[in-house]
Structure 1
Amino acid sequence: MKNAEAFEVAVSQQVLDDLKNRLQNTRWPGEADGSGWAFGTSEAYLKELTQYWLHTYDWRKQEEALNRYPQYIADVNGVQVHFQYIKGNGANAKPLLLTHGWPDSYYRFHKLIPLLTEGEQPFDLVIPSIPGFGFSEKTALSSTAVADLWKDLMTQTLGYEHFYAAGGDIGMSVTKALASKYPGIVAGVHFTDIGYPMGQEDPATMTEAEQQFAQFVQQWWYSEGAYAMVQATKPQSLAYGLNDSPVGLAAWIVSFGNAGAHPDILEKAFGGRDALLTNIMIYWVTQTIATSARIYKVDAMAQWSGEKPLEKSDVPAGIAVFPREAQFPKEWAERFVHVVSFRAMDEGGHFAALEVPEIFAAELKRFFSELH
């Protein structure tokens, strides 16, 4: 392993004591009678979550779990990249790079580790934190620039000649860029989403199913897309409040996690209440909400600058559409990647790796095991 050092999560007690004081001294804004989730994150729910955070949640226990698997910090082309690296149990293990999105973290995949490193087809798992997220360097890079880093992480730092890659959300954009730019190195890719119609497509070239998908996305964008618009335009203005208030940070992340979902499945979507808070804690203890949100602005600036769109790749791609994810048709995916597998899943949503890890792991194993 080149230019890499072992790493462990170790948050100071001072940071945890400060967090406790901030939670206890929260100034609650109040909410309209009977509003529930209609105006954003429910205050009643958030107060309950905060009490659990204060009196029941155990960061030290979660910290121990985070350190259960080997982690490293590597200098990759001058950028400090944090990543988990877990070797598969077997001589035929295949290298698999997993990339998270927002508002999650490398923790998105922790339930997959024992499922994907054992069995008839094990994988060497590489699970990095995108720069600007978690324990990686606090710098915001475009999705394409992250793909360039990941290529060097896999080939130069870890020494793989070829590898597989999977991702959702921002991780989808990074993985798609990897397939487009490095088809001779990336042997296969897998996605749980593939991007959304943004009004740039000629309706005459779209199938009826694609047009219906575009109408759904437009409606969703107006009802649930405020977070992306803010982060793509004024991320710094947002960051002051979220970096200063843990309850504010939780409200913003929970609001997105609840988008399109009934409140009673919110915590399930993140893999349980402790998993939800651990994900929020990773943002809090690293103070990376500002840089993580900034990637939306950086990607938007690249698009506005007229950056040439990525070419469609011939790298074989698998698609798994979970029922509480945007339901895009196969022909939409085929605009961007070489689809060789397109499957509608029976259960799960945007954070499938957290919510239904066994189902998601089985899908990844099935797809990548069929590639040669």
Structure 2
Amino acid sequence: MNEIRPFRIEIPQADLDDLRRRLAATRWPAQLTDTGWERGVPVGYLKELAEYWRDGFDWRAGEAELNAHPQFVTTVDGQDLHFLHVRSANEDATPLVLLHGWPSSVVEFLDLIPLLTDRFHLVVPSLPGFGFSTPLRETGWGNLMRVAGAVAELMTRLGYQRFAAQGGDVGAGVVGLLAMLHPDRVIGTHVNGPSPYPFGPPVELAGLPDAERARAERFNLFREDGIGYLVQQATRPQTLAYGLTDSPVGQLAWIAEKYREWTDPAAELPEDAVDRDRLLTNVSIYWFTGSGASAAHVVYEGMQAFKQFMASAGAGADDGVPPALPPGAVAVFAADTSVRHLVDPMGSVVRWTEFDRGGHFAALETPDLLAADVIEFFSGRH
């Protein structure tokens, strides 16, 4: 069961034909007069994007770009784990695991990979329940401790005793737990855009410096007006799963909305921040693998576990001395809602960098900024 098996993405032509038929047969809702993005993705925008997905987008080109990188699957704890493994020409390069979040996939790192391979051997997994790390064999993969354990086992199988870790969103959570579980193995951690707990209280604005106050105000607005997707996935993922699995336009809208809301504030539309073909390659992976449903279940389990953790922490269940952790870095981009004293309450982050562009999908939006920050932080760390 420890075998590492070569993998190649080969979506059957019948699945592409089925996608085009479903897109052509979409039953569209009406758009109410004088409404726009404040109520969700506008019909006019989504129609045009869906038409391009059907008739203009070239899945085979995206598939070929992914297949240009060595890919593998291994079974860890009963679950197939898919990953890219891109070794540097420099044999002494540092192993670095890159971990995506929701609603992302390994596609998020395609533009980042060539910027890092001079310095790093890269391991880029699809998280369990996402992309080609499907189907889920059982419940429990929303437990990020379990995911972190699987990632550590993957690195062991690849022969990397010590390694660096980078991630955003769910991936940032896994990165943090890797450091807690294996402080002797993790060289350092780098995360982008950590946010306060969305189901917690609003952030108190008094006394915050201007830049942080703006991020806190953005978080408070998100908490009031932007967590509908999270409430649904965190409470009733199976009900949502039918629409994401049966309707490609439903899956497209579910993800495109987040690319509009979470990318650089200067971008009016998702494709103003992220290449349209990249966006659709990511959405296509969710569609072809059916991972919109399993990812929703992962979010459900993760949020249930986090609620229990917050309740136990509030009750003082964990009064022990925190372990000594590897050095950590945080990169904050223009659309992020990071408030330092909330995401780094122990003051343990040794590098905190703020950028004036980019957002939640930093590896897609601003790979140059993210790569430079990662390289500088890990330079000299072994």
Q: Output the TM-score relative to the length of structure 2.
A: 0.89
**TM-aligned CA distance change 1:265 to 1:328, over 3 Å:** farther
**TM-aligned CA distance change 1:292 to 1:202, over 3 Å:** closer
Q: Decide which of 239, 246, 249 is 1:237's aligned counterpart.
A: 239
Tell me the distance in 1 between the aligned counterparts of 2:162 and 2:241: 38
1:292-303 equivalence runs, <5 A: 292-303=295-306
Q: Identify the residue that residue 208 of structure 2 maps to in structure 1.
A: 209
1:217 Cα shift?
A: 2.4
Q: Identify the residue that residue 320 of structure 1 maps to in structure 2.
A: 331
1:38 Cα shift?
A: 1.7
Tell me the distance in 1 between the aligned counterparts of 2:244 and 2:2: 36
For this pair of structures, how many residues does the alignment match? 365
Identity percentage over the alignment? Answer: 38
Tell me the distance in 2 between the aligned counterparts of 1:127 and 1:357: 15
RMSD: 2.4
SS where residue 209 of structure 1 aligns? coil
Q: Identify the residue that residue 107 of structure 1 maps to in structure 2.
A: 107
1:314 Cα shift?
A: 2.2
Tell me the distance in 2 between the aligned counterparts of 1:165 and 1:154: 11
Aligned partner letter, 2:143? S
Tell me the distance in 2 between the aligned counterparts of 1:56 and 1:107: 19
Aligned partner letter, 2:31? E
**TM-aligned CA distance change 1:304 to 1:328, over 3 Å:** closer
Q: Identify the residue that residue 280 of structure 1 maps to in structure 2.
A: 283
Could you tell me whether the CA contact under 8 Å between 2:134 and 2:289 is conserved in 1?
no
**TM-aligned CA distance change 1:362 to 1:6, over 3 Å:** same
SS where residue 295 of structure 2 aligns? helix
Could you tell me whether the CA contact under 8 Å between 2:165 and 2:189 is conserved in 1?
yes
1:109-148 equivalence runs, <5 A: 109-118=109-118, 122-139=119-136, 140-148=141-149
Could you tell me whether the CA contact under 8 Å between 1:315 and 1:337 is conserved in 2?
no
Tell me the distance in 1 between the aligned counterparts of 2:269 and 2:52: 17
Could you tell me whether the CA contact under 8 Å between 1:312 and 1:337 is conserved in 2?
no
Could you tell me whether the CA contact under 8 Å between 2:195 and 2:337 is conserved in 1?
no
Gaps in structure 1 of 5+ consecutive residues: none
Q: Identify the residue that residue 348 of structure 2 maps to in structure 1.
A: 338
**TM-aligned CA distance change 1:336 to 1:97, over 3 Å:** farther
Could you tell me whether the CA contact under 8 Å between 1:81 and 1:136 is conserved in 2?
yes
Gaps in structure 2 of 5+ consecutive residues: none
**TM-aligned CA distance change 1:226 to 1:198, over 3 Å:** closer
Could you tell me whether the CA contact under 8 Å between 1:176 and 1:337 is conserved in 2?
no
Could you tell me whether the CA contact under 8 Å between 2:333 and 2:362 is conserved in 1?
yes
Aligned partner letter, 1:283? Y
Q: Identify the residue that residue 15 of structure 1 maps to in structure 2.
A: 15
**TM-aligned CA distance change 1:214 to 1:325, over 3 Å:** closer
Tell me the distance in 2 between the aligned counterparts of 1:96 and 1:138: 26
After superposition, give the CA deviation of every residue in 1:46-103 in whole Å (9 maximum; x if it has no partner).
Answer: 0110111111111111111110000000012322100000001212200000000001
1:326 Cα shift?
A: 1.3
Aligned partner letter, 1:145? R
Q: Decide which of 255, 258, 272 is 2:257's aligned counterpart.
A: 255
Q: Identify the residue that residue 50 of structure 1 maps to in structure 2.
A: 50
Q: Identify the residue that residue 34 of structure 2 maps to in structure 1.
A: 34
Could you tell me whether the CA contact under 8 Å between 1:322 and 1:348 is conserved in 2?
yes
1:312 Cα shift?
A: 6.4
Tell me the distance in 1 between the aligned counterparts of 2:345 and 2:185: 21
Aligned partner letter, 2:78? G
Tell me the distance in 2 between the aligned counterparts of 1:110 and 1:79: 24
Tell me the distance in 2 between the aligned counterparts of 1:14 and 1:202: 48
**TM-aligned CA distance change 1:17 to 1:202, over 3 Å:** closer
Q: Identify the residue that residue 223 of structure 2 maps to in structure 1.
A: 221
1:113-192 equivalence runs, <5 A: 113-118=113-118, 122-139=119-136, 140-155=141-156, 157-192=157-192
1:262 Cα shift?
A: 6.3
**TM-aligned CA distance change 1:312 to 1:258, over 3 Å:** farther
Q: Output the TM-score relative to the length of structure 1.
A: 0.91
Could you tell me whether the CA contact under 8 Å between 1:313 and 1:338 is conserved in 2?
no
Could you tell me whether the CA contact under 8 Å between 2:327 and 2:350 is conserved in 1?
yes
1:263 Cα shift?
A: 6.2
**TM-aligned CA distance change 1:194 to 1:327, over 3 Å:** closer
Tell me the distance in 2 between the aligned counterparts of 1:89 and 1:336: 38
1:341 Cα shift?
A: 0.6
1:142 Cα shift?
A: 1.7
